[in-house]
Structure 1
Amino acid sequence: MTIDERRRHRHESLLAAGIELLGSPDGPAVSVRGVCRSAGLTERYFYESFDDRDAFVRAVYAHVGEQARQAIVHAVESSDERDRVEAPVRAFVELVLDSPSVGRVLLLAPLSESAIGGSGAALLPSFVELVQAQLTSEDPDDKRLIAVGVVGALTALFVGYLDGSITTPREKFVAHCVRLVSGASEHAMIEPTTFR
């Protein structure tokens, strides 16, 4: 590998270790030493990519947020008229529930990790905008209210599923999320081709 490829590989290894540590079932447990041990790298390589621990935590969170956004965008772009609501919900389920550490980083870590305490609120508008862009209502206030409501409700449901307070079988859980989004789209029909 070239020098740049090796650097990129080390960066990716550190992010992967960060997802596991930040998304630990027992709560975030991130230290520079722990990340390096988990990634099999020395601290020299950690500081090659990140200024300090907090910068690293924010980078891990941003990385997971982008994964979620891309999964939803891809699902919408590749769905047909029949599954335009179910496809993005299932894509988010696969990302968050099939990789629980990713889900915990995205939804639970901001509640207890000071380095990203405000990031959850900062990331939320981007997901609201993704939903809002699909709504064809003529009233911008209606579009905003529907999008914020849907994202807020889905966030609460996924947090409950991840922390164990919701124990509904997976398929029933997914079906409920689909109905929630479908109900919103009845008020403002979704145009799948505009999801960018």
Structure 2
Amino acid sequence: MTRTWAGTTLDDRRAARRARLLAAGLDLLGTGGSGAVSVRAVCRRAKLTERYFYESFTDREQLVVAVYEDVAEQLRQALIDAVPDTRAEPAARAEAAVTAAVELMVDDPRKGSVLLLAPVTDPALSARGVALLPAFAALVREQLPARLAADEREMTALGLVGSLSNLFTAYLAGTLKVSRARLIAHCVRQLAQAGS
């Protein structure tokens, strides 16, 4: 029999504490960068003791990677959900995908910072960004016309992911000074041209 306290099980309480720690990690990493994330700072933000931190994570690096992977999965799922119909016109698919990415990474710049800026400065994330590139390239590759040779589709997908990542990185860092609408339009045009 599972014991409950205040109507929740121990597993439920652990999951809730882990979610609070992840939310605190996202907030700190996404607004203050790598240097803002320490076990103590995360616990203070989550209003939990270090005991509960170590219940979920072995160290700061494991938390940082978990935050990154959680946001990356949110982006992957948002892109999949945005383009359910591969028969739609390339421009419509591109606009849906770019809008989903902007809503996740620009409208909540913490998430964009975690995905694109933090891997540049946090050693725990450097390899993760490289490791996730093929998964996002595969999503793009699936949208490209089947008439293209396999190697052409692969190179095009990798090139698009690299290009779009750099555009979003510059936009989030403030070095690309265009409107949100211009950013979306440019990204849509790149994807639609590749898929036509």
For normalisation by structure 1, the TM-score amounts to: 0.90
What letter corresponds to residue 185 of structure 2 in structure 1?
A
Q: Distance in 1 between matches of 2:61 and 2:28?
A: 13
Q: 1:170 aligns with which of 159, 174, 180?
A: 180
Q: Distance in 2 between matches of 1:21 and 1:78?
A: 37
Aligned position for 1:127 = 136
Residue ranges of structure 2 left out of the alignment (5+ in a row) = 1-7
Aligned position for 2:5 = none
Aligned position for 1:46 = 53
What letter corresponds to residue 51 of structure 1 in structure 2?
T
Q: 2:190 aligns with which of 175, 180, 196?
A: 180
* Structure 1 residue 56 displacement after superposition: 1.0
Aligned position for 2:79 = 72
Q: Distance in 2 between matches of 1:80 and 1:165?
A: 36
Q: Secondary structure at the match of 2:84?
A: helix
* Structure 1 residue 132 displacement after superposition: 1.0
Q: Distance in 2 between matches of 1:180 and 1:94?
A: 18
Q: Distance in 2 between matches of 1:114 and 1:132?
A: 29
* Structure 1 residue 27 displacement after superposition: 2.4
Q: Distance in 2 between matches of 1:80 and 1:8?
A: 39
Larger radius of gyration: 2
- Change over 3 Å in CA distance of 1:179–1:14 after alignment to 2: same
Indicate yes or no: 2:69 matched with 1:62: yes
Residue ranges of structure 1 left out of the alignment (5+ in a row) = 187-196
Indicate yes or no: 2:10 matched with 1:3: yes
**Is the 1:137–1:143 contact (alpha carbons within 8 Å) kept by the matching residues of 2?**
no
* Structure 1 residue 100 displacement after superposition: 0.3
* Structure 1 residue 134 displacement after superposition: 2.1
Q: Counterparts in 2 of 1:145-156, with a 5 A limit?
A: 145-156=155-166
**Is the 2:86–2:143 contact (alpha carbons within 8 Å) kept by the matching residues of 1?**
no
Q: Secondary structure at the match of 1:45?
A: helix
Aligned-residue CA RMSD (Å)? 1.4
- Change over 3 Å in CA distance of 1:118–1:96 after alignment to 2: same
Q: Which string of whole-angstrom CA distances, capped at 9 and with x for unpartnered residues, describes residues 79-135 of structure 1?
A: 872521110110000000010000000000000001111111111111001111222
Q: Which string of whole-angstrom CA distances, capped at 9 and with x for unpartnered residues, describes residues 140-162 of structure 1?
A: 11010110111011000000100
Moved over 4 A (4+): none
Q: Secondary structure at the match of 1:165?
A: coil
Q: 2:99 aligns with which of 83, 90, 99?
A: 90
For normalisation by structure 2, the TM-score amounts to: 0.90
